Protein backbone atom coordinates (compact mmCIF):
# COMPACT_ATOMS: atom_id res chain seq x y z
CA UNK A 1 0.00 0.00 0.00
CA UNK A 2 1.21 3.51 -0.77
CA UNK A 3 1.82 5.58 2.33
CA UNK A 4 -0.94 8.14 2.22
CA UNK A 5 0.19 10.30 5.10
CA UNK A 6 3.62 10.94 6.59
CA UNK A 7 3.93 13.71 9.16
CA UNK A 8 7.10 15.73 8.53
CA UNK A 9 7.87 13.54 5.53
CA UNK A 10 5.15 14.39 3.05
CA UNK A 11 5.40 14.98 -0.66
CA UNK A 12 7.22 18.25 -1.18
CA UNK A 13 5.59 19.11 -4.49
CA UNK A 14 1.97 19.67 -3.50
CA UNK A 15 0.52 21.13 -6.70
CA UNK A 16 -3.05 20.63 -7.94
CA UNK A 17 -3.44 18.26 -10.86
CA UNK A 18 -6.24 20.01 -12.69
CA UNK A 19 -7.08 20.88 -16.25
CA UNK A 20 -4.48 23.41 -17.35
CA UNK A 21 -4.14 25.85 -20.20
CA UNK A 22 -1.32 27.50 -22.09
CA UNK A 23 -0.40 29.99 -19.39
CA UNK A 24 3.34 29.90 -18.79
CA UNK A 25 4.63 28.60 -15.49
CA UNK A 26 8.19 29.42 -16.56
CA UNK A 27 9.96 31.09 -19.45
CA UNK A 28 13.45 30.48 -20.79
CA UNK A 29 15.61 31.65 -23.67
CA UNK A 30 14.62 28.42 -25.34
CA UNK A 31 10.90 28.96 -24.94
CA UNK A 32 8.16 28.77 -22.32
CA UNK A 33 6.85 25.90 -20.22
CA UNK A 34 3.07 25.95 -20.19
CA UNK A 35 0.67 24.71 -17.54
CA UNK A 36 -0.59 22.00 -19.86
CA UNK A 37 2.93 20.77 -20.64
CA UNK A 38 3.83 20.82 -16.96
CA UNK A 39 0.63 18.94 -16.05
CA UNK A 40 1.18 16.31 -18.75
CA UNK A 41 4.71 15.71 -17.51
CA UNK A 42 3.82 15.68 -13.83
CA UNK A 43 0.86 13.32 -14.06
CA UNK A 44 3.03 10.59 -15.54
CA UNK A 45 5.34 10.55 -12.51
CA UNK A 46 4.81 8.48 -9.35
CA UNK A 47 5.05 11.60 -7.18
CA UNK A 48 2.43 13.37 -9.28
CA UNK A 49 0.07 10.42 -8.99
CA UNK A 50 0.69 10.25 -5.25
CA UNK A 51 -0.25 13.90 -4.90
CA UNK A 52 -3.52 13.31 -6.76
CA UNK A 53 -4.31 10.25 -4.64
CA UNK A 54 -3.72 12.30 -1.50
CA UNK A 55 -5.86 15.16 -2.74
CA UNK A 56 -8.72 12.82 -3.59
CA UNK A 57 -8.51 11.10 -0.22
CA UNK A 58 -8.40 14.44 1.60
CA UNK A 59 -11.54 15.59 -0.22
CA UNK A 60 -13.60 12.54 0.65
CA UNK A 61 -12.30 12.41 4.23
CA UNK A 62 -13.17 16.07 4.72
CA UNK A 63 -16.69 15.44 3.41
CA UNK A 64 -17.25 12.40 5.61
CA UNK A 65 -15.40 13.36 8.80
CA UNK A 66 -14.66 17.09 8.61
CA UNK A 67 -17.09 17.93 11.42
CA UNK A 68 -15.29 15.50 13.73
CA UNK A 69 -11.89 17.24 13.56
CA UNK A 70 -11.76 20.70 15.12
CA UNK A 71 -9.22 23.43 14.55
CA UNK A 72 -8.33 23.14 18.23
CA UNK A 73 -7.45 19.46 17.78
CA UNK A 74 -5.12 20.30 14.90
CA UNK A 75 -3.48 23.09 16.90
CA UNK A 76 -2.98 20.79 19.88
CA UNK A 77 -1.24 18.19 17.72
CA UNK A 78 0.85 20.88 16.04
CA UNK A 79 1.98 22.23 19.41
CA UNK A 80 2.99 18.72 20.45
CA UNK A 81 5.32 18.44 17.45
CA UNK A 82 6.64 21.93 18.06
CA UNK A 83 7.37 21.14 21.70
CA UNK A 84 8.97 17.81 20.82
CA UNK A 85 11.51 19.35 18.45
CA UNK A 86 12.09 22.51 20.51
CA UNK A 87 14.54 24.97 19.01
CA UNK A 88 15.20 22.66 16.05
CA UNK A 89 11.53 22.72 14.94
CA UNK A 90 12.03 25.27 12.14
CA UNK A 91 15.05 23.34 10.87
CA UNK A 92 13.10 20.06 10.81
CA UNK A 93 10.30 21.72 8.83
CA UNK A 94 12.77 23.15 6.35
CA UNK A 95 14.59 19.83 5.92
CA UNK A 96 11.27 18.18 5.05
CA UNK A 97 10.25 20.99 2.65
CA UNK A 98 7.34 21.93 4.89
CA UNK A 99 5.88 25.10 6.39
CA UNK A 100 3.71 25.69 9.44
CA UNK A 101 0.67 25.73 7.16
CA UNK A 102 1.52 22.53 5.28
CA UNK A 103 2.30 20.70 8.52
CA UNK A 104 -1.11 21.65 9.91
CA UNK A 105 -2.70 20.40 6.69
CA UNK A 106 -0.87 17.06 7.09
CA UNK A 107 -1.96 16.87 10.73
CA UNK A 108 -5.58 17.50 9.77
CA UNK A 109 -5.39 14.81 7.07
CA UNK A 110 -3.99 12.38 9.62
CA UNK A 111 -6.72 13.17 12.16
CA UNK A 112 -9.41 12.77 9.50
CA UNK A 113 -8.03 9.36 8.57
CA UNK A 114 -7.95 8.45 12.27
CA UNK A 115 -11.66 9.27 12.52
CA UNK A 116 -12.28 7.01 9.54
CA UNK A 117 -10.37 4.18 11.22
CA UNK A 118 -12.45 4.65 14.38
CA UNK A 119 -15.64 4.61 12.33
CA UNK A 120 -14.74 1.36 10.59
CA UNK A 121 -13.34 -0.54 13.59
CA UNK A 122 -15.23 -2.48 16.22
CA UNK A 123 -13.05 -2.85 19.32
CA UNK A 124 -13.82 -6.04 21.24
CA UNK A 125 -13.34 -6.62 24.96
CA UNK A 126 -10.75 -9.25 24.03
CA UNK A 127 -8.71 -6.56 22.24
CA UNK A 128 -9.00 -4.23 25.25
CA UNK A 129 -7.82 -7.00 27.60
CA UNK A 130 -4.86 -7.72 25.35
CA UNK A 131 -3.90 -4.05 25.17
CA UNK A 132 -4.04 -3.79 28.95
CA UNK A 133 -1.21 -6.30 29.34
CA UNK A 134 1.31 -3.88 27.80
CA UNK A 135 -0.37 -0.66 28.96
CA UNK A 136 1.60 2.00 30.79
CA UNK A 137 0.10 5.42 31.59
CA UNK A 138 1.54 8.60 30.16
CA UNK A 139 4.49 9.68 32.29
CA UNK A 140 6.73 12.74 32.44
CA UNK A 141 10.47 12.27 32.82
CA UNK A 142 13.75 14.16 32.61
CA UNK A 143 17.04 12.69 31.47
CA UNK A 144 20.75 13.33 31.48
CA UNK A 145 22.70 11.83 28.57
CA UNK A 146 26.46 11.29 28.77
CA UNK A 147 29.01 9.28 26.82
CA UNK A 148 30.57 7.26 29.64
CA UNK A 149 29.02 4.93 32.20
CA UNK A 150 31.34 6.29 34.89
CA UNK A 151 30.12 9.83 34.23
CA UNK A 152 26.51 8.70 34.58
CA UNK A 153 27.36 6.94 37.83
CA UNK A 154 29.04 10.09 39.16
CA UNK A 155 25.81 12.00 38.44
CA UNK A 156 23.80 9.37 40.32
CA UNK A 157 26.22 9.58 43.25
CA UNK A 158 25.79 13.34 43.30
CA UNK A 159 22.01 12.97 43.39
CA UNK A 160 22.28 10.40 46.17
CA UNK A 161 24.25 12.84 48.30
CA UNK A 162 21.85 15.72 47.64
CA UNK A 163 19.67 16.44 50.69
CA UNK A 164 17.54 19.15 49.15
CA UNK A 165 15.18 19.20 46.14
CA UNK A 166 16.26 16.24 44.01
CA UNK A 167 14.45 17.42 40.86
CA UNK A 168 16.01 20.87 41.10
CA UNK A 169 19.43 19.27 41.51
CA UNK A 170 18.73 16.96 38.56
CA UNK A 171 17.71 19.86 36.32
CA UNK A 172 20.89 21.73 37.24
CA UNK A 173 23.05 18.69 36.46
CA UNK A 174 21.27 18.23 33.13
CA UNK A 175 22.07 21.79 32.12
CA UNK A 176 25.75 21.39 32.96
CA UNK A 177 26.43 17.72 32.17
CA UNK A 178 24.01 16.42 29.54
CA UNK A 179 25.12 16.04 25.94
CA UNK A 180 21.52 16.04 24.70
CA UNK A 181 21.21 19.49 23.15
CA UNK A 182 17.50 19.05 22.50
CA UNK A 183 16.53 19.37 26.16
CA UNK A 184 19.52 20.24 28.35
CA UNK A 185 18.52 23.92 28.44
CA UNK A 186 15.18 22.91 30.01
CA UNK A 187 16.76 20.66 32.60
CA UNK A 188 16.51 17.46 30.56
CA UNK A 189 12.71 17.34 30.45
CA UNK A 190 11.39 14.80 27.93
CA UNK A 191 7.98 14.97 26.24
CA UNK A 192 5.38 12.86 28.06
CA UNK A 193 5.03 9.31 26.70
CA UNK A 194 3.27 6.00 27.29
CA UNK A 195 3.85 2.41 26.15
CA UNK A 196 2.96 3.23 22.53
CA UNK A 197 5.83 5.71 22.11
CA UNK A 198 8.22 4.86 19.29
CA UNK A 199 10.65 7.77 19.59
CA UNK A 200 12.43 6.65 22.76
CA UNK A 201 14.73 3.67 23.18
CA UNK A 202 13.06 0.58 24.64
CA UNK A 203 15.67 0.47 27.40
CA UNK A 204 14.79 4.03 28.35
CA UNK A 205 11.06 3.30 28.52
CA UNK A 206 11.56 0.04 30.43
CA UNK A 207 13.66 1.76 33.09
CA UNK A 208 11.35 4.78 33.29
CA UNK A 209 8.13 2.80 33.80
CA UNK A 210 9.67 1.16 36.87
CA UNK A 211 10.07 4.52 38.60
CA UNK A 212 7.55 6.18 40.88
CA UNK A 213 7.14 9.95 41.00
CA UNK A 214 10.25 11.52 42.52
CA UNK A 215 12.51 8.51 41.90
CA UNK A 216 15.48 8.27 39.55
CA UNK A 217 17.47 5.38 38.10
CA UNK A 218 20.07 4.13 40.57
CA UNK A 219 22.30 2.74 37.83
CA UNK A 220 23.15 4.10 34.35
CA UNK A 221 20.77 3.13 31.54
CA UNK A 222 22.57 2.05 28.37
CA UNK A 223 20.98 3.06 25.07
CA UNK A 224 22.29 3.56 21.53
CA UNK A 225 22.78 7.24 22.38
CA UNK A 226 25.04 6.61 25.37
CA UNK A 227 24.33 6.35 29.08
CA UNK A 228 21.31 8.00 30.65
CA UNK A 229 20.12 8.91 34.10
CA UNK A 230 16.34 9.17 34.27
CA UNK A 231 14.21 11.12 36.75
CA UNK A 232 10.49 10.45 37.08
CA UNK A 233 8.72 13.80 37.32
CA UNK A 234 5.21 12.33 37.27
CA UNK A 235 3.95 8.76 37.13
CA UNK A 236 0.22 8.51 37.92
CA UNK A 237 0.42 4.72 38.35
CA UNK A 238 -1.17 2.07 36.17
CA UNK A 239 -4.47 1.90 38.02
CA UNK A 240 -7.12 -0.53 36.81
CA UNK A 241 -8.21 -1.62 33.33
CA UNK A 242 -11.66 -0.12 33.85
CA UNK A 243 -10.15 3.28 34.63
CA UNK A 244 -8.26 3.27 31.34
CA UNK A 245 -10.81 1.83 28.92
CA UNK A 246 -10.84 5.02 26.83
CA UNK A 247 -7.01 5.14 26.78
CA UNK A 248 -6.83 1.50 25.73
CA UNK A 249 -9.27 2.05 22.86
CA UNK A 250 -7.24 5.08 21.75
CA UNK A 251 -4.05 3.01 21.76
CA UNK A 252 -5.69 0.29 19.67
CA UNK A 253 -6.78 2.84 17.08
CA UNK A 254 -3.30 4.40 17.08
CA UNK A 255 -1.77 0.99 16.40
CA UNK A 256 -4.32 0.38 13.63
CA UNK A 257 -3.07 3.61 12.04
CA UNK A 258 0.27 1.85 11.54
CA UNK A 259 -1.30 -1.33 10.18
CA UNK A 260 -1.11 -1.17 6.39
CA UNK A 261 -3.71 -3.91 5.89
CA UNK A 262 -6.30 -2.20 8.05
CA UNK A 263 -5.57 1.20 6.52
CA UNK A 264 -5.99 -0.22 3.03
CA UNK A 265 -9.37 -1.62 4.01
CA UNK A 266 -10.53 1.66 5.58
CA UNK A 267 -9.30 3.80 2.67
CA UNK A 268 -11.12 1.50 0.25
CA UNK A 269 -14.40 1.99 2.10
CA UNK A 270 -13.92 5.76 2.33
CA UNK A 271 -13.14 6.12 -1.39
CA UNK A 272 -16.08 3.94 -2.44
CA UNK A 273 -18.43 6.04 -0.35
CA UNK A 274 -16.89 9.18 -1.86
CA UNK A 275 -18.15 8.39 -5.37
CA UNK A 276 -14.80 9.26 -6.94
CA UNK A 277 -14.76 9.71 -10.70
CA UNK A 278 -11.47 10.22 -12.55
CA UNK A 279 -11.98 12.53 -15.55
CA UNK A 280 -8.52 12.24 -17.09
CA UNK A 281 -8.32 9.01 -19.10
CA UNK A 282 -4.57 8.78 -18.53
CA UNK A 283 -5.21 8.61 -14.77
CA UNK A 284 -8.31 6.42 -14.79
CA UNK A 285 -6.52 3.53 -13.05
CA UNK A 286 -4.94 5.61 -10.31
CA UNK A 287 -7.21 4.18 -7.58
CA UNK A 288 -7.43 0.59 -8.85
CA UNK A 289 -5.57 -0.71 -5.80
CA UNK A 290 -8.53 0.45 -3.71
CA UNK A 291 -11.70 0.70 -5.76
CA UNK A 292 -11.26 -2.70 -7.36
CA UNK A 293 -10.67 -4.40 -4.02
CA UNK A 294 -13.55 -6.08 -2.25
CA UNK A 295 -13.61 -5.75 1.53
CA UNK A 296 -15.87 -6.40 4.47
CA UNK A 297 -18.05 -3.60 5.81
CA UNK A 298 -16.25 -3.16 9.12
CA UNK A 299 -12.87 -4.15 10.50
CA UNK A 300 -12.69 -5.75 13.93
CA UNK A 301 -9.91 -5.41 16.48
CA UNK A 302 -9.82 -8.47 18.63
* CATH classification of the domain holding 189: 3.10.50.40
Domain count, the chain: 2
Residues 271 and 214 in one domain: no
Provide the residue-wise pLDDT of the chain in tens; the chain has 302 residues.
Answer: 233 334 333 333 344 444 456 889 899 999 999 988 888 898 889 888 988 999 999 999 999 999 999 999 999 999 988 887 777 789 888 988 899 999 999 999 999 999 999 999 999 999 999 999 999 999 999 999 999 999 999 999 999 999 999 999 999 999 999 999 989 999 999 989 999 998 899 999 999 999 999 999 999 999 999 999 999 999 999 999 999 999 999 999 999 998 999 999 999 999 999 999 999 999 999 999 998 744 445 566 76
Of 245, 298, 272, the closest CA to residue 118 belongs to 298
> Cα separation of 119 and 299, whole Å?
9
Residues 33 and 111 in one domain: yes
> Looking at residue 21, what is its pLDDT?
66
Q: Which domain holds residue 288?
A: 24-123+245-301
- What region, left, alpha or beta, does residue 271 occupy, with left being phi > 0 and alpha being psi -120 to 50 degrees? alpha
Q: Is residue 147 part of a domain?
A: yes
> Cα separation of 105 and 69, whole Å?
12
Residues 142 and 118 in one domain: no
Residues 205 and 186 in one domain: yes
Residues 212 and 293 in one domain: no
Q: Is residue 72 part of a domain?
A: yes
Q: Is residue 130 part of a domain?
A: no
Give the DSSP letter string of 30-55: TEEEEHHHHHHHHTTSHHHHHHHHHH
Amino acid sequence: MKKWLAILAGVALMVPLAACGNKAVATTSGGKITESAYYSSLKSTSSGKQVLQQMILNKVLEKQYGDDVSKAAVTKEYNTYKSQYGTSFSTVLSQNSMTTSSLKEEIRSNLLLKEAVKDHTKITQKAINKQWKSFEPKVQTAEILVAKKSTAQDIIDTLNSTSGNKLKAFNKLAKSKSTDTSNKSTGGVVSAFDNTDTSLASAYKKAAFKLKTGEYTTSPVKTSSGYQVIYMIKNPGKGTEKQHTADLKEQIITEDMSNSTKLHSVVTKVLKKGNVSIKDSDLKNILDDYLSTSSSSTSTSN
